[in-house]
Amino acid sequence: MTFSGDTTYSDNLERLADSSRLLVHEAVNVRGMSLPPVVRDHTLLSHVEVQKVGAVATRSNVGTLLLSHIGNLDGSPVDHSQWRRWARSGYDGQVHVGRDLEIYKVDRTGVRKRP
């Protein structure tokens, strides 16, 4: 299991996560938002766009991707279905978009959200 937080794209993270059963990764959405370039650029110094995080999971060969510490940079509500579709771009594994206080079980059979 590998956790990432406030991390831009990193070869080191991909090596650390190599073949993990679960990658918990933060993500942000900046696309389609009216933001000053300085705000967008500063944000992307320490975050990965949700549309690119699936590629990180693929290159790391992880079994499941769980998005955590997520948000649209303009503060609008996160559409979990859309975020799941974006995260699956370039990744064929299981994707969960986390919500506050959710609990996940990780064992030999996989990763599941607990009811």
| pLDDT tens per residue, range 31-57 | 888 889 999 899 999 999 999 999 999
The model's pTM is 0.92
Q: Return the SS3 of 49.
A: strand
User: Above 90 in pLDDT, residue 23?
Assistant: yes
Strand boundaries in 1-115, DSSP class E:
2-3, 22-29, 64-72, 94-97, 104-107, 110-113
Fold (topology level) of 2-113: Metallo-beta-lactamase; Chain A (3.60.15)
Q: For residues 21 and 113, give the distance between their C-alpha atoms in angstroms, rounded to a whole number.
A: 14
> In the chain, what percentage of residues exceed pLDDT 70?
100
